[in-house]
Amino acid sequence: MSKRDLKKYIGQLTKEQLEEQIVELYEKFAPVKVYYDFVFNPKEDKLLQESKVKISHEYFPIKKPNAKWRPKAKMRRSVAQKIIKHFIMLGVDSFIIADLMLYNIEIAQTFSSNNFIKQELFYKSILNSFEQAVNFIISNGILPEFKSRILDIQQQTMQQKWKNKYEFEAISDKIDF
């Protein structure tokens, strides 16, 4: 069904029929429920804090009570990417999305400053996240608010002597004005 056909179909429904269909969609499909729950009660700050905790646990997992060992850091970029994609789908404010994107990189750098990471994929993955964040920030016209954090991230790659530090530098050169 095309968007035009859908609009035509919706236009033929009575208000009660339309309300009934929306309620049915809300009950049947979890993404619809999540969307309407967010629209009517955004609580963006709470959502941001919960997401930051989730991302930080990827690098700094919490030892469960009575456990004899501490879980190992998983360092999965996909967890943060999934959250960011979800925020974009919900229409969360671009400042919050940008903050989360940069936080993801900053927490990874905090982890790498205290831990030796052998996997080249980690560094490449963080570089991809950095490039996506910079492009998102530029395209949303919010660079002045985030420029110092972007430059701090780039400086951190130099201080930690990441192998791809010059690629970070090339990306951050896009923002020098």
53-83, pLDDT tens digit by residue? Answer: 999 999 988 877 776 666 888 888 899 999 9
What are the start-end ranges of the E strands in 55-168? none
Query: Number of folded domains in the chain?
Result: 2
CB neighbours of 38 closer than 8 A, spacing ≥ 6? 47, 90
**Residues 24 and 110 grouped into a single domain:** no
Chain segment 92-141, per-residue pLDDT in tens? 999 999 999 999 999 999 999 999 888 899 999 999 999 999 999 999 99
Domain of residue 124, residue span: 43-175
pLDDT > 90: what percent of the chain? 62
**Residues 95 and 132 grouped into a single domain:** yes
**Residues 28 and 110 grouped into a single domain:** no
Verdict on whether the full-model pTM lies above 0.75: yes
**Residues 160 and 77 grouped into a single domain:** yes
**Residues 124 and 148 grouped into a single domain:** yes
Asked if 94 contacts 142 with a C-beta cutoff of 8 angstroms, the reply is yes
CA 17 vs. chain centroid, Å, equals 37
Asked if 58 contacts 71 with a C-beta cutoff of 8 angstroms, the reply is no
Asked if 175 contacts 134 with a C-beta cutoff of 8 angstroms, the reply is yes
**Residues 125 and 85 grouped into a single domain:** yes
The confidence score (pLDDT) of residue 96 equals 95
Residue 132, burial from CB neighbour count under 10 angstroms (0-12, 13-18, 19+): middle
